[in-house]
A and B are shown apart, each in its own frame.
Chain A
Amino acid sequence: MRFIHTPQDPWRTVHGDDGPMVTITPKPNLLLTWLQWHSVCHHWPAGVPVGVILENDQDVRDVEADLPRLGLIALRFPKWVDGRAYSQAHLLRSRYRFQGEIRALGEVLVDMLPLLQRTGFDAVVLRADQSREAAERALTFFPGFYQGDVQEHRPRFARPANDSSDGATGYLNAGASI
């Protein structure tokens, strides 16, 4: 998981004085809204990296045809307890094989990290007050899970019994308790 520090991030959003609809000149690493992207996608030059921000009510099916041209998809959490973007990320990875970066924006809290990682996000912009150290710790509690996810497609029951992708047995044998 990459933690994005915005000032050093190459990706830039485009804002006009009157809202998001401005004239956009193609240049590398613009992060556009879905509407902005649609206004320029027909003449966007191949090879110029571009990303889009999707709201969480956007149907990712509509994005499928554009995916090969996108380097980054940012999914927004307007509220952290609104879990729609997890399904969007899952579909982008598992169904549409999106290989670029999937980034979480908005109200991103440290306790969401295990869910984000398992549904296919590989970068986050934490809310400003969040602790990176707590976020990294949140990823360490579980050595394995029951159901499959974007990282490990197979559920536990479909993996070999001695699969080392979870260290539970070794951990217990080492005498650890909590």
Chain B
Amino acid sequence: MLRFLSSRLLVLIPTLLGVVLLAFFLVRQLHGDAVEARSGERGITAEQLAERRQALGLDRPLHEQFLTYLGQVVQGDLGKSYVTQRPVLDEFVELFPATIELSIVAMIIAIVIGLPAGILAALTRGSIFDHGVMGAALTGYSMPIFWWAILLIVLFSNILGLTPVSGRLDVLYYIEPATGFMLIDTLLSDEPEAFWSALHHLILPSIVLGTIPLAVIARMTRSAMLEVLSEDYIRTARAKGLSPFRVIWVHALRNALIPVVTVIGLQTGTLLAGAVLTETIFSWPGIGKWLIDAIGRRDFPAVQGGILLIAVTIITVNLAVDLLYGLINPRIRHQK
């Protein structure tokens, strides 16, 4: 187990470094562009251009620039947003909880529906239910999320009038941001009935965001279950006279869930990518929307800082999933 842990951590460092390097090149390219773009607009002299470049440190040797950048990143200095003049890190931290909240609810939906669907599909293999579930799953991840969102909005918000179209909360309420998680903050505030408004606003976006993970989880669970059910130890369990329920619940699931947990963890990346699209459509004030807006406004520090932070998040989550996998897979956890 220890060896597994350390090998994973060892890979982490060069990967993180690599991502910072990527972001660094992004910075240079964008800052270079920015300087020239601004210079072109006001028609300044070559000297002033050189001055600007020097101010940004663009005239120093490459590796020095990188080390400076690395130093800044490690200290949490990711520059200031051109638009708001606030530190990028602060903006990110402020908006991140909205995305996390959305992602968590989306993942809960995906697991609560996807897991049982996959298990039942495996158990009733070849039946109409099985084909139905698999067909739905396939459609689910062939769908462009932004279109799916529009469809659902048209159906539930426009036609049925059931759900709101944008934002996290009814405009009537003002809630003090405590944790940043609306579901918690509303309960903590002096208007706890706002909780329902928060939930109300969460439903549609999280269904949209959770669709692809749901489809992937259903498929993976089904194939993992099918594989486990054909293993020898299932036959042994039956030969011991165990009830079919126990065979599935105790013996099959425990092993089938191992790869599924990994898949669930790795869906984080998909969630964050999907968040970018979902937040845009639902005007959900999270980092996805912030990133796209920043790109549109040519707010380069925000773009580059945002991508770096998202990348670090995903890498960290992947590492956690890897470690979790080591814990739940008995062959790795209890090595000889």
- A, B from the same assembly: no
